[in-house]
Amino acid sequence: MLSPAVSLLIAVPALRVSRIGVASNIQMCASPGFKAALLFDCDGVLVETEELHRRAYNQAFDEFGLQIDGKPVVWSKEYYAHLANTIGGGKPKMRYHFTGLGAPESTVKHPDTVASWPAVTKRQGEKAVPKDEAAGMLLIDELQDFKTECYKKLVTTAPPRPGILELMDAAIAMPGLAVGICSASTRGGFEKVVNSVVGRSRLAKLDVIIAGDDVSKKKPHPEIYNLASSRLGVPKEACIVVEDSIVGLRAAKAAGMRCVITYTEETAGNDFYAEGADAALLDLSSGVGIDALFSPDVKLRPVLLESVRDKP
């Protein structure tokens, strides 16, 4: 099990050592040898998990018997794609759905956003409705806990996205380049994904791992990437982020970092270049090498993935 806010001590510049099992109370220390950083989002980047998240939320809604105006609460694929591209983190998604609050000011309200607390027809008595936001957030906490357990069961068989682990391995092997994962997901679900898909031996070679529990503000706020930059001691302008959604892209750009988008079928319709993406492509199946992002002296390429990215 990964320790909370895993960002680990590097004793020798450019030398990665095994960090599995390091106590969580060790003070973090950045290596002076890092010249740049490559940071990966998790869901949608390392593995296509958005549909698994949607199914897990719907299982939680069904378990609690959530209803609004007598109709069960169910998130469709189309609506979940809207949520994924509007607000980061599971609890903020549910708060937005039930209250209409928490989304960027520019967000166009989706017709499925009910902005109304649901009746809970199971577990808490017949048609118990949260009386205020405090009670509603307690319900969201319970829903998130149950959803995480559902998700952990669903995600164990999910394969990595094409080419992503090959790129991570190449980055790990590059002296002077820090490599990490920054996910908005809660640690319970996040650890299941990275242990299963990335593997513990590969995780042990990473330089920073941050989950959604480790920050107070979720994407599109840049806190998670600002924290990674600070822990690694790498300037923001020397960092490249790999994301899959508008929410993640906005977080990376707000942090002052370059951003590559590997979109999914659900997010393919977004204009990522209009939002500031430095490169966008469906996946890395064409065999994207680390040299398409960084020069041999670990400097960022002026144009990222120039030969394989979608044309702006």
Rounded to 10°, the helix 90-99/77-84 angle is 110
Choice among 41, 207, 244, 278 that is catalytic = 41
Angle (CA) 237-48-292 rounded to 5° is 40
Angle (CA) 276-52-122 rounded to 5° is 120
Length reported for the chain: 312
Residue partners of 276: CB distance under 8 A and separation at least 6: 249, 253, 259
Long-range interactions of 78-85: CB distance < 8 A, separation 24+: 79/110, 79/112, 80/50, 80/51, 80/53, 80/54, 80/266, 81/50, 81/266, 81/267, 82/110, 82/112, 84/44, 84/50, 84/245, 84/247, 84/266, 84/267, 85/245, 85/246, 85/247, 85/267, 85/270
Nearest-angstrom CA–CA distance, 213 and 129 = 27
Based on the residue annotation, tell me whether 43 is a catalytic residue of this protein.
yes
Rounded to 10°, the helix 246-254/223-232 angle is 50
Pick from 21, 14, 61: nearest CA to 204:
21
Say if strands 66-68 and 119-120 run parallel, antiparallel, or are unpaired. antiparallel
Nearest-angstrom CA–CA distance, 164 and 173 = 14
- What number of other Cβ atoms are within 10 A of residue 35's Cβ? 20
Pick from 236, 310, 240: nearest CA to 279:
310
Q: Which residues pair with 259 in a beta bridge?
A: 241
| Residue appearing with tokens 């990966």 | 40
Choice among 43, 207, 244, 278 that is catalytic = 43
| Residues labelled catalytic | 41, 43
